[in-house]
């Protein structure tokens, strides 16, 4: 896939997700710092053409603000740039079709750390992990500091920030939000330690 310009990106028809989208949601935010990568645009993102503006995005916004980063201090992208119908998970061929755009984003943004928001993003960025996603996130955080890398950039995985995921507890009673906040703190620390 050839990725050339913003105009190309805004009119991409490389996969079936182009058929139902309202707008392509392009990456935005400052370069060279923390880049949050989610699964896909949702309804509000699709309508506005802006990433992470729905409830899940606002939850992430609040989590990062709690750790000292306002919205203008972190960047946003997704593993696919167009909204899947009915918010279904992106299919493998759609993720593959959008891979060139994601790699172009990473080359242009040159983040110091990637925050992988939710399992779909983590599957794309750290495909070697196996087993339970939340177990993997907790283990990586407990290991404290040797994150997987994608394209030479450290990847910190975290739970999805949709209310359904963010407000639940693990079987042992641990709030998933607490694991998410631990991941966000770790990612912010990595971003700032590299300055």
Residues that bind ligand SF4 (CB under 6 A): 12-15, 17-18, 24, 80-82, 94, 97-98, 101
61 vs 94 by CB, closer to ligand SF4: 94
Closest approach of Cβ 121 to ligand SF4, in Å? 14
34: enclosing H helix or E strand? strand 34-38
15 vs 176 by CB, closer to ligand SF4: 15
- Considering Cα of 127, then 129, then 133, then 137, what sign does the dihedral take? negative
The residue assigned the tokens 């935010």 is: 29
Is residue 82 classed as helix, strand or coil in its secondary structure? coil
82 vs 190 by CB, closer to ligand SF4: 82
Closest approach of Cβ 114 to ligand SF4, in Å? 18
- Cα angle for residues 160, 166, 170 (degrees, 5° grid): 100
Q: Are 81 and 25 in contact (CB under 8 A)?
A: yes
Closest approach of Cβ 72 to ligand SF4, in Å? 25
Closest approach of Cβ 18 to ligand SF4, in Å? 4
115: enclosing H helix or E strand? strand 113-117
Q: What tokens appear for 101 in the block?
A: 């755009």
53 vs 98 by CB, closer to ligand SF4: 98
């Amino acid at each position: 896939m050839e990725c050339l310009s913003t105009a190309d990106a805004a009119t991409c028809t490389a996969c079936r997700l182009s058929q139902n989208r309202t707008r392509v949601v392009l990456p935005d935010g400052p370069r060279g710092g923390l880049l949050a990568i989610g699964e896909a645009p949702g309804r509000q993102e699709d309508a506005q053409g802006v990433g992470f503006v729905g409830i899940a995005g606002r939850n992430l916004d609040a989590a990062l603000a709690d750790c000292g980063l306002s919205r203008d201090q972190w960047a946003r992208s997704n593993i696919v740039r167009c909204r899947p119908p009915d918010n279904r998970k992106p299919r493998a061929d759609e993720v593959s079709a959008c891979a060139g755009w994601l790699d172009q984003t990473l080359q242009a943004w040159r983040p110091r750390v990637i925050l992988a928001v939710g399992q779909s993003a983590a599957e794309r960025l750290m495909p070697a992990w196996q087993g339970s996603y939340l177990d993997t996130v907790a283990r990586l955080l407990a290991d404290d500091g040797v994150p997987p890398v994608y394209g030479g950039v450290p990847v910190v995985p975290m739970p999805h920030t949709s209310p359904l995921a963010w407000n639940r507890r693990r079987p042992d009673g641990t709030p998933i939000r607490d694991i998410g906040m631990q991941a966000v703190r770790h990612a912010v620390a990595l971003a700032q330690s590299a300055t």
